[in-house]
Homo-oligomer: A and B are copies of this chain.
Amino acid sequence: MDPARSHERVPIRRPGGRAASVVARVHQAARELLTEVGYEAVQLPDVAARAGVNKTTVYRRWPTKSDLVADLLLGLSDHDLPRADTGSLLGDLVAMLKDVAELLRTPLMQAMVRASLDGSIDQEARLSFWAERMHRSSVIIERAVRRGELPESADARSILEHAASPIYFRLLVTGEPVTDHDIGRFAERAIEAAQRA
């Protein structure tokens, strides 16, 4: 239909020049403030000020605090997940769970999870974010299957969820502490259940 297909109709007008720098600085400022004063106390004008950016700029891109913080969550990239290869499923799993626990103890992460409760993230994005994260960690399971520690039928997603959810539960909901000993138990439990399947 369109003869000049080379430059389509699609508004590819979304460069990464100045805009990118603004986004980066605002994100950074938000992360800092969140860890310093906590979600509740963070104010968009403050974020703007710290980012060295005008208030309006922030408001136009992120109408609410929730939106900004949720955006932060989605921007959480890998480099804080996979983890070392310890040689055993238990070792890998424990290492991963320790990371999870550490992350969940930070005000930043708590704020991000919270923001996602406000519906500032469309359901689809939220689901795919967590799916992606799970997927990244599933190397652990794949390795275990290759080693023969788990049956071929093992479902990575389910195992990881099984092992990790009590940590989320305690750290985010009840506020109870999670010890390394607990983590060991959670990991063992999940492994046993998976082997039985």
Contacts and interface: CB of A to CB of B under 8 A. Distances in A.
Contacts of A127: 174-176
Given A165-B165, A165-B168, A173 B130 contact: yes
Contact of A175 (B110, B126, B192): B126
Interface of A is mostly: helix
B175 A169 contact: no
In which size bucket is the chain A interface?
Answer: 20 to 34
A116 to B, nearest CB: 7
A118 B119 CA distance: 18
Interface of A: 38-40, 64, 66, 110, 113-114, 116-119, 123, 126-127, 130, 161-162, 164-166, 168-170, 172-176, 189, 192-193, 196
Given A130-B173, A130-B174, A130-B176, 14 more contacts: A38-B118, A40-B118, A110-B117, A113-B173, A114-B117, A123-B175, A127-B176, A161-B170, A162-B166, A165-B169, A168-B172, A172-B172, A189-B193, A192-B193
